Amino acid sequence: MNKLKNLLIILSVLFISSCKNSSFKNDEINLIVNDFNMSQLSNLGEKLYVITSPISKFNKQSQIYMLDKTKIIFYEDKNVKYTVNSNNAQLLNNEIIKLNGNIEIVDVSDDKNIINADSFYWDLKKSNFILEGNVRLNNKNLDLLSSKAFLNKDSNIVKFSKPVKYNYKNKKSTNYRIRSENAYYDLSNESLIFKSESDKGRVKSKINF
């Protein structure tokens, strides 16, 4: 009788444990979302940006979207301003997005600026993008390399953090190479400013294209 009683107790414990584990696994289930599309509108109803992914997963417990082949389109005055592509991304609580792998930012200007990086971080409430890892700006005039950069989508200015390697391409196919602590490139005016932190904001050199 005691053996039977002990067996029933053990089976009850195992059953309860199994229920708990099953409940925990249900909380961790990732929901598959096809054709993910998230857009933000201005007060006037105009598109500010659209985030898309052909397939994604949503973790209910962590409130994180895991997006595949992510694309972000930014608009200004109803026209496309930038497109941002990446291998994958994480969208946290619809507030922060982290892009990873083959980041490519392309603007629609005549200069066709292309910025590449390993990772991209953006707080959706702010105007600054943080780019890290093999950051490179390339256009018809220059090739600029850095380990980290900040792109302000409102001012259209990219700040490249030290060290900065700069390669200028002139019409005679002669390249000029410059090393600097920091560089600021204005995507709108096509101007490049080199600054040193030790100069307390003093302009070291400026190049207009």
pLDDT digits (tens, 9 = 90+) for 150-209: 999 899 999 998 778 877 766 554 455 566 678 898 888 888 887 766 555 444 555 554
Q: What is the mean pLDDT of the chain?
A: 80
Q: In this structure, are 104 and 169 located in the same domain?
A: no
Distance CA 184, CA 158 (A): 6
Residue 192 falls inside a structural domain = yes
Residue 15 falls inside a structural domain = no
Q: How confident is the model at residue 22 (pLDDT cuts 50, 70, 90)?
A: very low
Q: In this structure, are 99 and 141 located in the same domain?
A: no
Residue 5 falls inside a structural domain = no
Q: Residue 46: CA atoms inside 13 Å, Cβ hemisphere, count?
A: 9
Q: In this structure, are 129 and 208 located in the same domain?
A: yes
Domain that holds residue 196: 124-209
pLDDT surpassing 50 at residue 89: yes
Q: In this structure, are 98 and 139 located in the same domain?
A: no
**Domain-ending residue, one of 108, 134, 155:** 108
Do 104 and 112 form a contact (C-beta atoms < 8 A)? no
Q: In this structure, are 136 and 104 located in the same domain?
A: no
Q: In this structure, are 83 and 143 located in the same domain?
A: no
Please state, as a whole number, how many other Cβ atoms lie within 10 Å of the Cβ of residue 67: 27
pLDDT at res. 166: 79
The first and second tokens of residue 124, run together, are 């959706």
Residue 204 falls inside a structural domain = yes
Q: Residue 134: CA atoms inside 13 Å, Cβ hemisphere, count?
A: 9
pLDDT at res. 187: 87
Residue 10 falls inside a structural domain = no
User: What would the mean pLDDT of 43-71 be, rounded to a whole number?
Assistant: 92
> In sequence order, what are the residues at sequence separation of 6 or more whose Cβ sits closer than 8 angstroms to the Cβ of residue 53?
35, 36, 67, 68, 69, 70, 71, 89
SS3 state of residue 190:
coil
Q: In this structure, are 76 and 131 located in the same domain?
A: no
Q: What CATH number does residue 73 fall under? A: 2.60.450.10
* Domain count along the chain: 2
Residue 9 falls inside a structural domain = no
Q: How confident is the model at residue 5 (pLDDT cuts 50, 70, 90)?
A: very low
Query: Per residue in 107-142, pLDDT tens?
Result: 887 778 899 999 999 999 999 999 999 999 998 888
Q: In this structure, are 104 and 151 located in the same domain?
A: no
Residue 20 falls inside a structural domain = no
Q: In this structure, are 180 and 102 located in the same domain?
A: no
**Domain-ending residue, one of 108, 142, 160:** 108
